[in-house]
Structure 1
Amino acid sequence: NRGPNHQMPFLRVRHRVVAAFARSMFAMVSVTRLPPSMAKEAMGFASIAKAAQEASPLCYTSSTRGSYSRHVRGLKGGYSSVAGESAPDKSGEAVQDPMSMSLSAVVTQGLGVPKEVVEGLAKERGISVYWNIDEGAAEPPANPTALIMVNKKTGGDYLKKLGPKMVAVAFTGYDAVDMKACKEEKIAVYNVPAYSTDSVAELAIGLTLAVYREIPVSDRSIREGKWVVSSGGTELKGKTVGIMGTGSIGVATAKLYKAFGCKLIGWSRTEKKDFLDLGGTYVKTKKELFAGSDVVSLHVPCNAKTMGCVGEEELSQLNPSAVLINVGRGGLIQQEVLSKMLHAKKFRAGLDVFAQEPVDPKDPILTAPNCVLTPHVAYKTTEALARRVQVTLDNIVSFSKGSDTNRVDTKE
């Protein structure tokens, strides 16, 4: 009753034995083609493994890891839904089932989920995983099925050297990929379009409230012994919110603003029924959107056509009390113009993304007044990261079967 750190020695030994036995059962099920009835009985040891992991000092006790395992448990898949069932391979070799592995993937960035969880989900799909993140890591195999990346710039030289058949971007935006090189080398590119829709929409609201209600400055002030911060914040209810880009994230964000009692206007390449059903109305130009909004929230993808599409012409339409929210891509805004206008207090802003990431410590955007900054975390919730890994791996399987679901290079 006093917890795993206070158990008698013989109890700790018992838990270790039980945990090891349960893990061996999972391993047997994962590599053996058992009849359904036997497999079901064997998988019944999941509860034993979980209990042993919680009690044994040898098992994973990180609250973060446990959080991911809970969310992965809700995803499709088998034994790997319980963290720790697939122990990391200390040798650095790929964790694989020789009876079923036919696909391979080189991972060049952390995915925000414990490695053993990624390996377990990959194993279920017949994918062997090679980690090539840290300096000094073993040379990855040439010509893998896939290169898994997030947002690290990936140029043509690296792609040509590695020779993957496809790039599985574990992100919605894929502007970090050298699409020209992929086209030349006939490398397919897939992304994960909707894993963080709700997470991103929620941060857009959070940044708006942080600016309107002066939350960061209030927090700093009370810690410094001050009490009165200003003459008062601003209500969100009744404000006109301009949604620039009414795709899935734009519409999800609009729904939340609508719940706060806001009026919605939008600008997008195509008009969406979902946005109109919310009571939203479309304007014809970006300039009109910025001029008519108390809050402007950016949700268009960043590509060759939209890079720097928000500049002085649009920003000059905002009044001093207006708020610009960007949880999309930093490249959408001409940041030098943005910094200059924020320092001149032409409007306020809540920014999660920037032209250069990480932001240069000398970048004037960091000292701009009347704005709240976050380090590109809109997508970063445990729920979203768990979904992202599953869809990324599913994309590799889809590619191997000739499916174009979530393929983006053909849209360029």
Structure 2
Amino acid sequence: MKRYAIVGFGCAGYHAAKAIRSLDKTGELHVFDRLNMPPFNPMLSTYYASDRISLDGVFPFGNLDSLCSQLDLQFHGGQTVSSISQNTLTLEDGSSYSFDAILVSTGARALLPPLKGLPDSRVLVMRTLGDAERLRARLASAPPCRAVVVGGSMVGIKVAELLAARGVEVTIADGADWLFPLAAFPHVGRELERRLTLRGLRFTWGAMVREISPEGVVLTSGALLPADLICLCIGTRAEADTVSGPGCGVQVGRGIVVDGNMSTSCPGIYAAGDCCEGTELQSGQTMPIGLWANAARQGEAAGRAMAGHPEPYAGNIIHNITHFMGLDFVGLGDSRREGEPVVWGGLSAGPYIEARVRNGSLQCVNLLDCRRAAGILKSLLLAQLDRPGCGLTPVQTAALLGCGISREFIRKIGGNRHV
């Protein structure tokens, strides 16, 4: 009988367990997690903090008891794994266990830089259920008047939205020069800023934080941003400590390095989800790709490989889809990639799409208030990675026309044969 261990029970861990159990009905399946709760979706933390969803809503796969029963797994909650070496897993209390295959799916943690003035009770991050609970408690007990959100990230904008909805004066401070710099073209990011400023948000760009003072956030320029609540949303760091010790043999860069089967450089040890570096298809490089759907696919690939039925996962592209303050923004592909701009709609009013096309293939796309078209354009971008210059299908073309998108735009991105 084969013995499996999954360390970290998030999206990737759940999908790995599901894949293992579908292929191996009798193997022993053990899940270790430092928390006693079912898989949690970090992107729902702000929705829970703002009371837009209930506590049950942040657990997309159901409660822990039902999952343990459905997947016939032994859950070791409140157990912190201190190290993994070859086929052995060691807990913080010194006990160790051997397994035939071990998956590390520990996710990522919010980045908290060593700023002068920390720790400070006014300073929060937003990643875990505990983070959301702390923000809820703060808003209930001592509602802030002025807040600074450090980091104009997808999470940062959601935090700013929920605070502004409570009547808080919010300033977003970021070291970049425009909103979503890795996803949005500069002029698109600035248009988002314009629209959000009309909704009451304030922005400070090129802003690097020097310290947290009793009055608020002090920038390296010496400027002070007054605040009685500060939320740091400046990114995440892969939780790879369990395999970073000497003698483990697992290669770690910005995350745990894996191949298409989610195998690490150490036989028998796998990694999936936000703790690992997946393949970014446009560049061909490995990097952390912090997407829920990506974690699911990686987890499934890891589970299949662990059970002896590998089905490699090729990877994904950088993409972001988010809704905030009545706006939709979608970024597909690396916005820094070059190509001829192809535009539909008006940037300052109504829906807008801008694509960059090179040698007949999409390189990257920004969409404002037109998310219905996002899935089709992502499918085309992915298809053109395999078959450069391939066109839209008749069904895809009809769907884009149904979104009101012009025939000229569709022709320029690959609809020539069907428009």
Q: Same fold (TM over 0.5)?
A: no
Provide TM-score, normalisation by structure 2: 0.26
Flag the structure with larger Rg: 1
Structure with the larger helix share: 1
